[in-house]
Amino acid sequence: MTVSALMTRTRDAVLPPFEEIVAEHGPVVMRVCRALLGPADAADAWSETFLSALEAYPKLRPESSIRAWLVTIAHRKAIDQRRGAARRPQPAGDLPEIPALDSASGGESSIDDDLRAALDALPAKQRGAVIYRYLADLSYAEVGELLESSATAARRSAADGIANLRKHFSKGART
Amino acid sequence: MRDKQIVDRLTSSFAGVDSDGALHGRLAALAERQGLLDVSYRTVDSPLGLLLLAATGEGLVRVAFSLEGHDAVLARLASDISPRILRTPRRLDEAAQELDEYFAGKRRAFSVPVDLQLAHGFRRSVLEHLRRIPYGVTQSYATVARAAGNPSAVRAAASACSHNPLPLVVPCHRVVRSDGTTGEYLGGPQAKRALLAMESAA
C-alpha cells in the first residue's frame, strides 16, 4: 500500500493518543527493525519509524491498519538506513538533551546469529515475506503491497522462505 | 524442524524489549526537539489519589482526578487538542513538584504556566477569576459570576467550575454554595471538603 493512500484529512477523525500506538505496536516494530537491520541499527530505525509516524499521525484515517502503516514506514526506514542515507542533521541550540542509547537498548534477547545469517541468506522477496508475514503478522495482501507483488506471490515467497530456513536447519542438524 | 518451530524461533529471536523505557524516552525527546509533541502527560500520586497532568508547549492544560477516568481524559485531549500525545514526565516535573508542595502544606499558590485553551468564553473568564481567589478563601458562585462579568449567570459560573480543566491549580474548590455547603466537585465532594479543611487549617 502507499502511505499517501492512507492519508486523508478527515474532520471528525477519532484517533487515540499516540502513546497508545507506541505501547501497542512498539514491540512489533522493534521485531521487524531487528530482523531487517540487526541489533545495532534497530534502535535508530525504531525511533525514526515512530517519529515519522508521529508527524503524519493527525492525518491518518482512523480505519487504517495501524500495524501495516507502521511496518510500511519501518520498511522504508530500513531501506534508507541500508543505503546510508536518511541521517537527518540535528539542529543545534537550547534543545532538550537526547539520551544516548547503550547497545543493549531495545533488545534484551540476543539475536540467534545462525538464524539471522540464514534469514539474510534468503532471496530478498522470501526474506521480506517471512519478516512481514511472520514477524509483523501482516496479511498476504499487505505483504504483497510492501514487496510490490501480489498476495499470491507473497504467500508463495513466505512458504518458500520458511522451507529454505527448514532446509538450512535440517542440514545443520546433520553435520 | 517444523514450520511452527521455525516461526517461533524467529519471533523469540528478534523480540526486543524496551524494559527500562530508554527507547520511549528517546522518542519523546526527539519528538519534542522536532516540535512534534503537542501534549505530554504523566501521573502523580496525591492524597486525593492518582492525578493525571497534561501540558502543551504553553503550559499545564489539564489536571484530572482518577474519578474522571484518565484514559477517557487522554482520549478527549487527543480529539480536542491533538492526538500527538506522549507520556513525557520531564515536561511536567515542575507541576508535579508544585502539587506535592501544595499537598504538603508548603505551597499556597502555583507558579507553573497554564494553558486555558480548553475553556472558552464566559467559562474562561470564570477560570481567570478563580486563579485570583487566594488560598484559604472561599467565594460563592454568585460572587464568581459577578466577578467574571455576568452577575445573572450563577448557574453558568457553577458549570464553569464543574468543567474546570485544571482543578487544584485553578482553585475551583474555593467556590462554595451561598448556603455554605460545599457543592459539586470533579474529584468528588469529599475531595473538595478535604481541600477546604486543609487550606483553612493552615
Mean pLDDT within B67-94: 95
Cross-chain residue pair B84–A22, CB shorter than 8 Å:
no
Name beta bridge partners: A7: A60
Cross-chain residue pair A30–B83, CB shorter than 8 Å:
no
Please report the pLDDT score of residue B124 as a whole number. 97
Last residue of a domain, one of B62, B96, B118: B118
Last residue of a domain, one of B118, B138, B163: B118
B112 and B130 fall within a common domain: no
B126 and B195 fall within a common domain: yes
| Chain B residues closer than 8 Å to A35 by CB | 10, 14
pLDDT confidence band for A172 (50 / 70 / 90): low
Do residues B109 and B170 touch, judged by C-beta distance below 8 A? no
Pick from A45, A50, A27, A48: nearest CA to A107: A27
Element (H, E) at B41: strand B39-44
Do residues A128 and A140 touch, judged by C-beta distance below 8 A? no
Element (H, E) at B140: strand B139-140
- Looking up cell 546510508 gives A84
B104 and B167 fall within a common domain: no
Q: Per-residue pLDDT tens for B7-57?
A: 888 888 888 777 778 899 999 999 999 999 999 999 999 999 999 999 999
How far does the CA of residue B185 sit from the closest CA of chain A (Å)?
26
Please report the pLDDT score of residue A131 as a whole number. 96
Torsion of CA A34, A139, A143, A88, to 10 degrees: -50
CA atoms of B198 and B192, how far apart (whole Å): 10
B126 and B112 fall within a common domain: no
Do residues A90 and A101 touch, judged by C-beta distance below 8 A? no
B173 and B114 fall within a common domain: no
B90 and B137 fall within a common domain: no
Q: What is the CA radius of gyration of chain A?
A: 18
List A residues 105-134 in contact with B (Cβ-Cβ < 8 A): 105-109, 111-112, 115-116, 119, 130, 134
Structure ipTM: 0.91
CATH of the domain at B163: 1.10.10.10
- Considering the domain boundaries, does residue B54 fall inside one? yes
Q: Is the pLDDT of residue A109 over 50?
A: no
Spell out a b/e string for A85-107, using b for 16 or more CB atoms within 10 Å of the CB, else e: eeeeeeeeeeeeebeebeeebbb
CA atoms of B96 and B88, how far apart (whole Å): 12
Pick from B82, B28, B52: nearest CA to A23: B28
> Residue A12 has which C-alpha cell?
471528525
B130 and B103 fall within a common domain: no
B94 and B139 fall within a common domain: no
- Considering the domain boundaries, does residue B164 fall inside one? yes
How far does the CA of residue B12 sit from the closest CA of chain A (Å)?
8
B99 and B143 fall within a common domain: no
Q: Does B27 touch chain A (CB under 8 A)?
A: yes
B41 and B91 fall within a common domain: yes
Please report the pLDDT score of residue A90 as a whole number. 47
Instruction: Give all domains of chain A, ordered by start, each with its CATH number.
Output: 1-90 (1.10.1740.10), 111-175 (1.10.10.10)
Q: Is the dihedral of CA B81, B33, A27, A46 positive or negative?
A: positive
The helix, strand and coil proportions of chain B, stated in percent and rounded to the nearest 5, come to 45, 10, 40
Last residue of a domain, one of B101, B118, B135: B118
Domain that holds residue B106: 37-118
B57 and B114 fall within a common domain: yes
Please report the pLDDT score of residue B3 as a whole number. 81
User: How far, in whole angstroms, is CA B62 from its chain's centroid?
Assistant: 3
- Considering the domain boundaries, does residue B16 fall inside one? no
Which chain B residue has the Cα nearest residue A131?
B10
Cross-chain residue pair A112–B13, CB shorter than 8 Å:
yes
Nearest CB neighbour to B29, from listed A42, A98, A135: A98
B62 and B125 fall within a common domain: no
pLDDT confidence band for B194 (50 / 70 / 90): very high
Angle of the A151-174 helix axis to the B3-14 helix axis, nearest 10: 90
* Residue B161 appears among annotated catalytic residues: no
- Considering the domain boundaries, does residue B52 fall inside one? yes
Please report the pLDDT score of residue A12 as a whole number. 53
Q: Is A138 helix (H, G, I), strand (E, B) or coil?
A: coil
- Considering the domain boundaries, does residue B5 fall inside one? no
Interface size A-B, in CB pairs within 8 Å, comes to 145
Backbone angles phi, psi at A101, to 5 degrees: -105, 135
Cross-chain residue pair A19–B75, CB shorter than 8 Å:
no
- Considering the domain boundaries, does residue B50 fall inside one? yes
Q: Per-residue pLDDT tens for A31-67?
A: 999 999 988 889 999 999 999 999 999 999 888 899 9
Mean pLDDT within B62-72: 96
Angle of the B3-14 helix axis to the A113-120 helix axis, nearest 10: 110
CA atoms within 13 A on the CB side of A142: 21
Q: Per-residue pLDDT tens for A69-103?
A: 999 999 999 888 877 744 554 444 455 556 555 54
Nearest CB neighbour to A31, from listed B16, B18, B77: B16
- Considering the domain boundaries, does residue B28 fall inside one? no
Q: Is A91 helix (H, G, I), strand (E, B) or coil?
A: coil
- Looking up cell 464543574 gives B162
DSSP one-letter string for A19-57:
HHHHHHHHHHHHHHHHHHH-HHHHHHHHHHHHHHHHHHG
- Considering the domain boundaries, does residue B13 fall inside one? no
- The structural domain count of chain B equals 2
CATH of the domain at B73: 3.30.160.70
